[in-house]
A and B are shown apart, each in its own frame.
Chain A
Amino acid sequence: MRYLPLTEADRQSMLEAVRATSVEDLFRDVPKAAQLAGPIGGLPNHMGELEVERLLGTMAAKNLTAGSVPSFLGAGAYRHHVPATVDHLVQRGEFLTAYTPYQPEVSQGTLQVLFEFQTQVALLTGMDVANASMYDGATSCAEAVMMANRVTRRKKAILSGGLHPHYRDVTTTDARFIGFEAVALPAAPTGGEDLLALVDDKTSCVVVQNPDVFGHVRDYTDLAAACQAKGALLIVVVTEALSLGLLTPPGDMGADIVAAEGQSFGNALNFGGPYVGLFAVKDKYVRQMPGRLCGETVDADGRRGFVLTLSTREQHIRREKATSNICTNSGLCALAFSIHVSLLGEAGITQLAQLNHAKAVQMADKLAAVPGVEVLNDGFFNEFTVKLPKPAAAVVEDLAKRRILGGVPVSRLYPGEMEDLLLVAVTETNTDADMDAFAAALTEILGSGVLA
């Protein structure tokens, strides 16, 4: 066994040292009836690297790789080009195989990365401070609502119909078990919600998404002020973090909390995870924040250094009185995010965001020119909704057969609803040829009459 350094001779001499007759003897506190007599049945024995590669390689080959075909999927996960540098640095064993930096003297690398990550997230969202990351955007959203409940001492959240349904469901699941009210508005593919009308003196927060799940971008400045006038917080969710490179950030609109998904920077699609939740707040709420925080300090010789701080909010100190039960962040994904953002810099991030928007505008025009197709958005970043004359799920299946991943049918997110709507995302990875191929295939499918 290549991962086990003990030799049989080692084991024998160690058994003597511990005065045991066998390894099994060391398990004598386990009830006899529950001890297996030997290696467990029903599973194969050990394999060499070559065999494992062959087996997993066969499974991997059964999937249609997004990068091998024109791909226009978004809905909370975006395929961006990740510079080669990112993955090489992430795989340095000193980052990859370190534990949570509880011993700061031997963890300054991870700690400085987290301090820089927090600063980058604060800058991107336009907020005062950010934490060291959450599991993903959806759990970040649910934690934001619970934080608003703590801050306002109220227990009702209003969730916009533009919020990603997975984010909504994670929040309503928590609401059911943790004990607060989450009022989820119906899906709003064309907007037109009156969120403010629902805010009363029991409302802790209003949750909106920008761009929303249908791709619409909005200015929430007035809503933020109006919420705050009623004693409620405004939480802005962002699922496409690259949009922060171009749009007025939530902080400038007056958001109290930003909960976002950071996958777009540095992280591959990975069939949905692991990703990295971003969480940023106004200064005055720092001590109500969930999750880990890294702070600056000095060492015994007076030199600048970094430590995990304000841990008196956390479970390992506070136990049942903690602000949340979270014990992990998304360290390595946060590192990948941070390296990618560092490579982009101010000039790169602006250009990349503009590039995504411009390509999306081009794609929207190409699709609008397909007979029977209507683009629903006036304003969008790199994703928009189109209305088709046929059920979107069937159209997407047909496109997949032609080796085009043509977006996410809205009915995949809202079963049985809005079956004619399709979400289309465009990034810098999509070429002109990809876009033309998509428009041409769609024209053909819609014109064929087979699906009607």
Chain B
Amino acid sequence: MTWNDMVYLLPEIILTVGACVMLLVPVMGARGARLSAKWMMIAVLAITAGSLIVCSHAVETIDQSRQLQAMFALDPFSIFFKLLFIAAIAMLVMMSDDFLKESRYSPWEYYSLLGFALCGMMFMASGVHLITIYIGLELLSLSSYILAGFYKSELKSTEAAMKYFILGAVSSAILLYGISLIYGVCGSLNLLDIAAAMSTIVTNDALMLGIMLLGAGLCFKIAAVPFHVWTPDVYEGAPTPIAAFLSTGSKAAAFAIFARIFYVGLHDFHLEWNYVLATISALSMILGNFAAITQDNVKRMLGYSSIAHAGYVLLGIISLNTLGLRGILVYSIVYIFANLGIWSTVLMLRRHQYAGERVDDFEGLSRRAPLWAFAMVIFLLSLGGIPPTAGFIGKYFLFAAAVQAGFGWLAVIAVLMSAVSMFYYLRLVVAMYLREGVEAEFAITPALKIVAGICLIVTLALGILPGRMIDKVIKASDHVAARAALTPYAGR
């Protein structure tokens, strides 16, 4: 570790310091009370984002130590995801503010935990070493457990946190066991070294077990069937902005490490793991979508729909080609913006402790808030993959990748399930537009308007003119694709 290495870690260092300071502000007494937690957090995020952009230019000229190189990469792939995470967290801060004002809990702790979670996500995006990835993941998970139970006196919130913690801890243990087996066989935890070691191995049961356990741990984090059972309960019980966080930022971070580990580290064993993941993907899409149909609670419905979306993203991993990798990146953007948009609309409805819970709560929204009802329709269409919204571009990439990799049957399941998903997305549309007489209660705050507005613009703009986004994604993914030694056609 040299001083030069500090430049690589500068955004994370700034963020950590910022989050620690925020934790200390309340104990500073009267002076702290005049500061706004929200704006301070936004400022920290802005500085982090700024330093990230500066670093990404600076690193071209500064040598890094070999030790850092083996652990941590500041490559286009990680910069892409880090900026996405920062944007998502910034929007979550905007969404949380009014929500927190109505509760009696301290916003400072909340935001600093969100900051630590972001720090974990940034380490995950940069991790090229399984330990870095694991530590980032644990930092994210521990912060999320606390955030899920942030409403200490609410039974539902505590229950959600307990469920999430117990299952999460078990899955982390499984993940760690998988990592240790891989280390035992390959003798290294750096992804490139693992790949190099694997290329000499024809078959090895311990390694296979390690890959399967690692995969199972990751599937828990992205909530894929059969490791999904926590999702609906946690989403329902957690404070709504935290449910939004779990279904967007936290998930995208898991997608990032999933992609990096399987593309860079484990690509030689593609033939061994692809059918297992294909089954998981198919089950996630089928079970997630069909279970979502029966839900009356919007948060549970979004929970099941996020299970289905994990299934779609797995298509990008299974196909193991450049198109699939790009698809994961595109889908992460698309999914985060559409989902945050939906959650911010949910928050607009009747802000009590648990906002806009039931499908009925949306009834008549189109009369009272036509613009936001329209925005909600666009977000739902985007999740359903209907053009001209961004969701279509994301799904196009993933489905095309699956077809190209020869997983035609999985692509057929995927498209049919995305048609099924429209059934329950349309239920919300029906409630907003087609049921009359009932008037939705809502409280639209400027902060929510900003978030929903940004999401609306991004979702439509990326749907109609996706060219620039795709160029950026190609740049970001090519770096990892090169490490994965992808031949143009999935290594076959």
Please indicate whether A and B come from the same complex rather than being unrelated chains.
no
Q: Using a CB–CB distance below 8 Å, which chain A residues touch chain B? A: none
